[in-house]
Amino acid sequence: MSRQSPLSPFMLPIWYRFQLTSALSIAHRLTGLALSVGSIALCGWLIAVAHGDEWFARAHELLISPAGLSLLFLWSLTFFYHLCSGVRHLLWDVGYALELKAAYRGGYLVLAATVVLTAASWTYLFLA
Amino acid sequence: MEPGIASPEKTVADMHESSDETALRDQRAMRLVRHLGSARGGLGEWRIQRWTALALIPLGLYFVASMLHLATSSELTAEQWLASPVAALFLVLLLLAGLAHMLVGLRSIVLDYVHTRVGLFVAGVVVRASTALLCLASLLAVIKIALKS
């Protein structure tokens, strides 16, 4: 089957120029996907806790390894982004902030809140 | 004419009658568009996605706060944390709402990117089966930890 006309999910690089709003939209989906992968890790961690000390120790070792910590950092970032962006979506659902200017302001606010919440969490983690 | 498809005049008049109420209540929208295409069960999933999203705001924040507390505490162990019935309840609620939210989200991604019938079937089975597996495994683990202490 030949595709002469563009399909909606693949319009960004060629058919549309970059916009904050569409970039944040696809980021919402990507972070949702990343959190789905994170749910596997959460499940594995819970199983390790349930199984007892030896499994827990091994899971803990994995989590505090450089790779584990990087993943945890990315998951915290994606969690806070998806949370803030999700609130923005819920506000849209009830009819707020739908105008172009408000949509951009909300977008920048979501980005700022994500950075602040992630930074605050990791600062607390290393200072407390 | 099918009972679900009113004539345009009647449809507009119908909508005017209810315009004092909240415009287009979702059941109403459902009745208007049924038989016209893609409005079968989509509204149910839409609603699940929104309700779970709402629930996940406090549940997710509680979970992150608990993890931060757990990671920085020198005394509290994960087992002790989940021995508290409140913590176990909130974690179970987080898992249920989170995995339901995930299922709806993953299915909508599949519907956007998979274009063949076979692909849709396979992706649907994989998404549902893995979500069910994750759900059961996590819940059993939480129940085991909660009952142990």
Q: Report ipTM (2 d.p.).
A: 0.90
Least confident range from A11-25, A114-128, B45-59, B62-76: namely A11-25
Residue B2's pLDDT band, with cuts at 50, 70 and 90, is very low
**Which residue in A has a C-alpha nearest to residue B136's C-alpha?**
A43
**Which residue in B has a C-alpha nearest to residue A53's C-alpha?**
B79
**Per the CB < 8 Å rule, is A49 touching B56?**
no
Does B4 score more than 70 pLDDT?
Answer: no
Q: Which one of A36, A76, A93 has the shortest CB-CB distance to B50?
A: A93
Q: Which of A29, A39, A81, A90 would best serve as a mutation to test chain B binding (most B beta carbons within 10 A)? A: A39
Q: Tell me the C-alpha distance between B78 and B84, whole Å.
A: 10
Q: Tell me the C-alpha distance between A31 and A34, whole Å.
A: 5
Chain A residues in contact with chain B using a Cβ-Cβ cutoff of 8 Å:
8-9, 29, 32-33, 35-36, 39-40, 42-43, 46-47, 49-50, 56, 76, 79, 83, 86-87, 89-90, 93, 121, 124-125, 128
* pLDDT of amino acid A17: 76
Listed in sequence order, the residues at least 6 apart from A22 whose beta carbon sits closer than 8 Å to its beta carbon are: A12, A16
Q: Which one of B50, B56, B109 has the shortest CB-CB distance to A29?
A: B109
**Per the CB < 8 Å rule, is B72 touching A124?**
yes
Listed in sequence order, the residues at least 6 apart from B43 whose beta carbon sits closer than 8 Å to its beta carbon are: B26, B29, B30
**Chain A partners within 8 Å of B79 (Cβ):** 49
Residue B61's pLDDT band, with cuts at 50, 70 and 90, is very high
Q: Tell me the C-alpha distance between A107 and B31, whole Å.
A: 35
Phi, psi of A6 (to 5 degrees): -70, 145
Closest-CA distance, B2 to chain A, in angstroms, reads 32
Range A60-64 average pLDDT: 95
Would you say B99 and B127 are in contact if contact means Cβ atoms under 8 Å apart?
no
* pLDDT of amino acid B115: 86
Least confident range from A101-105, B45-49, B57-61: namely B45-49
**Per the CB < 8 Å rule, is A124 touching B68?**
yes
**Per the CB < 8 Å rule, is B72 touching A125?**
yes
Does B1 score more than 50 pLDDT?
Answer: no
Calculate the dihedral angle through the C-alpha atoms of A109, A114, A119, A121, rounding to the nearest 10 degrees: 120
Residue B14's pLDDT band, with cuts at 50, 70 and 90, is low
* pLDDT of amino acid B23: 53
Q: Tell me the C-alpha distance between A89 and B6, whole Å.
A: 33
User: Hey, is B116 helix, strand or coil?
Assistant: coil
**Per the CB < 8 Å rule, is B98 touching A43?**
no
**Per the CB < 8 Å rule, is B105 touching A32?**
yes
Least confident range from A53-62, A90-99, B7-16, B57-66: namely B7-16
**Per the CB < 8 Å rule, is B64 touching A121?**
yes
pTM for the model stands at 0.82
Range A53-58 average pLDDT: 94
